[in-house]
Structure 1
Amino acid sequence: MSISCTGTLNHLSLPTTDPQPTAAFLAEHFGCRIVTAGDSILLHRNGFDIVLDHVEEPVQWPRNFHFGFEMETLAEVRALHRTFDAAGVFMETAVFNNSRGSRFFCRMPGGVMIEVNTREDKEDDWRKLF
C-alpha cells in the first residue's frame, strides 16, 4: 500500500549568510510579513512561510534554482522589473514571453533567483505542451 502526502505546501527554508537584507527585500517587494527576527528569520505571506536560516559558510545555489511569484498583469510585471532595475537588483533577464506567459528573473540578496511572471498573455493551450 502506498501513501502520499495530501497536505498543503506550507514553507520553504533557505540558508543564507545574511538573512536581514533578504528579509527586507522580500518584505518590501513581495509583501512578506516578518514574523520573527534574529539569526534566522521567519516571513509569512498568504498562508506560506519562508524561513531564512542563518549559516556561516557561503551558500552555493545551482544556477537555475529559483522560486516564483505570479502577478495578475503584464503591466505589473514590467513595472516591477523597472523598479528592481532602478534599485540595483541583480537582473538575470529582461521581461520575456514564452508559451506560459511573460516573466523575468532576478536575484535577491543572498543569491537566490526569483521568477516574476504573469499568465495574462499565455498561449491558450500552453498546458498541451506537457
Structure 2
Amino acid sequence: MKLNHLNLCVNDLSDAVVFFQNLFEFRLIEQKGTAIAVMDDLNGFTLVLSSMPARSDDNNQYPKDFHLGFYVSTTSEVDEFHKKLTGFGIGTDTTPKMIRGGYTLYFTALEGILFEITCFEK
C-alpha cells in the first residue's frame, strides 16, 4: 500500500500554490478558482490544496505537532533548502541540526503549518 495523495487545507490558496511550486517543485495540474488546486511532485504523489473555510471562532489552526515532512538524500540538500528559504524571504527560528538520528530543519510557513526537511544519511 502506498500513500498517493493528501488534501491540505490552507488559508491562502494562491500563496500555497506558489509556495509548493517554488520551494518543493510541485507542478500545478488543475485549479478551480480559489477553492482547490491539484499539484503533483512528478514522483507519483498528488497534493490537493483546499481553501480553508473562514471560521469566526479563530480555530483555523492545525494541531501543535501536525507537520509535513520531506526526506532528502544528503545533509547538503538540507543546508541548501535552508538557504533557499532565506532567498524566498521565509525565516526560520533554527538552523538544521541532528534530531532523532536525522539532520533536520523545521520551519513554519503558510500561516502556521510546520514543515520538516530531514536527511538520514548513513
TM-score normalized with structure 2 length = 0.83
CA offset at residue 26 of structure 1? 0.8
- Structure 2's unaligned 5+ residue stretches are none
The number of aligned residues is 115
Deviations 1:33-57 (A, max 9, x none): 1111122111111111111111332
> Is 1:30–2:24 an aligned residue pair?
yes
CA offset at residue 105 of structure 1? 0.8
What is the aligned partner in structure 2 of residue 48 from structure 1?
45
Deviations 1:35-81 (A, max 9, x none): 11122111111111111111332621112110111111111111111
CA offset at residue 85 of structure 1? 2.5
Deviations 1:10-49 (A, max 9, x none): 1111112211111111111111111111221111111111
What is the aligned partner in structure 1 of residue 67 from structure 2?
66
- Structure 1's unaligned 5+ residue stretches are 1-6, 122-130
Checking the alignment, whether the CA contact within 8 Å between 1:22 and 1:108 is kept in structure 2 is no
What is the aligned partner in structure 2 of residue 10 from structure 1?
4
The amino acid across from 1:109 in the alignment is: L
The amino acid across from 1:26 in the alignment is: F
Which stretches of structure 1, 4 residues or more, deviate above 4 A after TM superposition? none
The amino acid across from 1:28 in the alignment is: N
Checking the alignment, whether the CA contact within 8 Å between 1:15 and 1:55 is kept in structure 2 is yes
Q: Which has the larger radius of gyration?
A: 1
Secondary structure of 2:69 counterpart = strand
The amino acid across from 1:114 in the alignment is: F
The amino acid across from 1:14 in the alignment is: L
Checking the alignment, whether the CA contact within 8 Å between 1:43 and 1:51 is kept in structure 2 is yes
RMSD of aligned residue pairs (Cα, Å): 1.7
The amino acid across from 2:49 in the alignment is: L
Checking the alignment, whether the CA contact within 8 Å between 2:23 and 2:84 is kept in structure 1 is no
What is the aligned partner in structure 1 of residue 98 from structure 2?
97
Checking the alignment, whether the CA contact within 8 Å between 1:92 and 1:104 is kept in structure 2 is no
